Structure 1
């Protein structure tokens, strides 16, 4: 069994999403000690965003740019790690109502027709069946359903939709929101999230 752990916050040890994703991984390893964990810090070592040069290389046009070549190998590694994972844990803070750009760069490398989804006569079908995902979500404000700002939420909904599109429909969100309101609000949000983590079952 293999677990792929991704972090994307720019805040290092001060990051709520990083702390929660680490707690989720620790909980899952406690439940399944045989898990092999692969870790990617997407903020510390991000992939390049897609460019015309990437598309040209994928179409077989030769390119001698070492930076691009290294980045293409990184994208291949991203894909291999995801395909080999049974569980994916994603640390994802909300930035400007959506996800951090390093996480989007990762998504652009793994959402590939013919690899993680394909088109059928009735529409697209995800190919990543029988995988489980956890999203460690952190938000400065409150955007959950029923809140005044819920319509602005393009963060968890995007990730859940993207994972489902790829065939991963068993997704659990562990959320700490309102963490920018006050130290007390942050502490309460994190405490509630950790209760949810403690309730995770194998």
Structure 2
């Protein structure tokens, strides 16, 4: 099994999402002794944000700037990572009601017409990725967005499921720890629940 492990939290060793992705990967590698893990830390190796230069190259222009050329090489690597992976584990904290900009920059690298999806004659998206991939998202957030009063501000899990589904990644499991900023008792309970779900992950 080929496993792609992605972290995007800016909090380093204090990150709950990083803790959970590490435990998810440990669980999966225990279930699959032959697992080949590729790790990408999106904060240690930040992608450039999408620019006009990126789009120009996609339409046939040359990458004149060295930093743009290097970033485009990483983008090709990221697409190949996605193509090769059987399972993708994504650490996705919520920052200001959505995903970190580092994770958004990675998404902009991999959601590329002609590479990971195309449009049918009817205008609907068609995945160009190999079938059968699984995604496990470690979702962490300070508030409680399952509550109806806060649901309208949730643009993290819903966004990830939408954009990943757009390129054909529809087998998505969310391991959630929310309410992390609502006191130590709530934080500990949320992490404990998430760990219980990780322990139940099947091969």
TM-score in terms of structure 2 length: 0.95
TM-superposed CA distance for 1:58, in Å, is 2.5
For 1:54 and 1:121, locate their aligned partners in 2 and report how far apart those are by CA, in whole Å. Answer: 26
Q: Who is 1:102 aligned against? A: 102
TM-superposed CA distance for 1:43, in Å, is 1.3
TM-superposed CA distance for 1:28, in Å, is 0.6
Q: Who is 1:5 aligned against? A: 5
Segments ≥4 residues shifted beyond 3 Å: none
Give unmatched runs, 5+ long, in structure 1.
Answer: none
Q: Who is 2:154 aligned against? A: 153
Measured on the aligned residues, the alpha-carbon RMSD in Å equals 1.1
TM-score in terms of structure 1 length: 0.96
Give unmatched runs, 5+ long, in structure 2.
Answer: none
Q: The residue matched to 2:145 in structure 1 has which SS?
A: coil
TM-superposed CA distance for 1:127, in Å, is 2.7
Q: The residue matched to 1:169 in structure 2 has which SS?
A: coil
TM-superposed CA distance for 1:62, in Å, is 2.7
Q: Who is 2:143 aligned against? A: 141
Q: The residue matched to 1:125 in structure 2 has which SS?
A: strand
Q: The residue matched to 1:13 in structure 2 has which SS?
A: helix
For 1:27 and 1:83, locate their aligned partners in 2 and report how far apart those are by CA, in whole Å. Answer: 22
Q: 116-125 or 55-64, which moves further after superposition?
A: 55-64
For 2:63 and 2:110, locate their aligned partners in 1 and report how far apart those are by CA, in whole Å. Answer: 22
For 1:114 and 1:3, locate their aligned partners in 2 and report how far apart those are by CA, in whole Å. Answer: 24
Q: The residue matched to 1:57 in structure 2 has which SS?
A: helix
TM-superposed CA distance for 1:77, in Å, is 0.6
